[in-house]
Structure 1
Amino acid sequence: MKPAILLALSLGAISATSAARADILITPSFIINIEEECAVEYRVCGKVSYTGTSKKTGQAIVLRGKTVEGKCDENSFCEFEGYIFRNGTTVYRVSSEGKLTVSQGAKTLVEEKGVWQ
């Protein structure tokens, strides 16, 4: 789970009825804003937006995607892995650890580690 969500949950800052949550990932080449449009009580969210802005050119791309979960334990708690977004044949993955991977088929176009803000 992203550090901002953990902090907000521990402080009670986000209510179960909140409409959106946002986090920013800073990589060497991009500023990525991720916004989930699902209430906190939903572990899986199919309404996630990605706005990626190039630090070099200032150009931005806006995509829609969803959360990705990994293995679940016996209590049905599933590990949050990150997000996935698609733009035609290009796939954008943002991991919970802050890794951005952009690929087309088997070809990796971008792979950068960032820091969540």
Structure 2
Amino acid sequence: MLVKKSLVIFIFLPIFTIIAHASNVSAETIETANFQIKITRHCEEGNVSCGRVTYVGKNSTTGKSIRLNGKTINSSYSYRFLGYEFRNGKYTYYIDNNNLLQVYRGRELILQEQGTAITSGRLRQR
């Protein structure tokens, strides 16, 4: 009997762990004039800061996309959420808490577009 209980726990524990971790992922989609951006936070719900964030940006004209890893940006005093930062070589992508996308090459601002948070029902299919 003890062996059966241990076997059941052994089989189902990984499944429950996967389900629990799957619920710790939150995503949002932002649309600018030229891009659709999906940002996914892979951290525990309730964490103010997160060092495991992904950015998937799709050019609305060409259909090309890029996937980047990044983190949240938080105020050093209050830990208030300020936005996201993603790096790709010498390029840094910022999205602030008002959905403003800024892309820098080194210190030079090369792209700035205001975005709008959208629901999954409004995503454009191309």
- Shorter chain as denominator, the TM-score bin is 0.7 to 0.9
- What is aligned with 2:103? 102
Between the two proteins, the alignment pairs up a number of residues equal to 99
When normalised by structure 1's length, the TM-score is: 0.79
Of the three residues 47, 58, 69, the one matched with 1:64 is 69
In structure 1, the gaps of 5 or more residues are 1-14
Of 44, 47, 51, the match for 1:42: 47
RMSD (CA atoms): 1.8
Shift of 1:39: 1.3
Within 1, Cα distance between the matches of 2:49 and 2:103? Answer: 22
Q: Structure 1: which amino acid aligns with 2:71?
A: K
Q: Distance in 1 between matches of 2:37 and 2:26?
A: 14
Higher share in strand: 1
Instruction: Give the 5 Å matches for 1:77-116.
Output: 78-116=79-117
Identify the structure with the greater helix proportion: 2
Look up the SS of the partner of 2:80 in the other structure.
Answer: strand
Aligned to 2:31: 26
Q: Structure with the greater relative contact order (CA < 8 A, sep ≥ 6): 1 or 2?
A: 1
Structure 1 CA distance for aligned equivalents of residues 107 and 40 of structure 2: 27
Moved over 4 A (4+): none
Distance in 2 between residues matched to 1:113 and 1:71, nearest whole Å = 25
Shift in Å, 1:29: 0.5
Q: Which residue of 1 aligns with 2:57?
A: 52
Give the number of the structure whose alpha-carbon radius of gyration is greater: 2
CA displacement at 1:104 relative to structure 2 = 0.8
Q: Structure 2, unaligned stretches of length 5 or more?
A: 1-19, 119-126
State the one-letter code of the partner of 2:115.
Answer: G
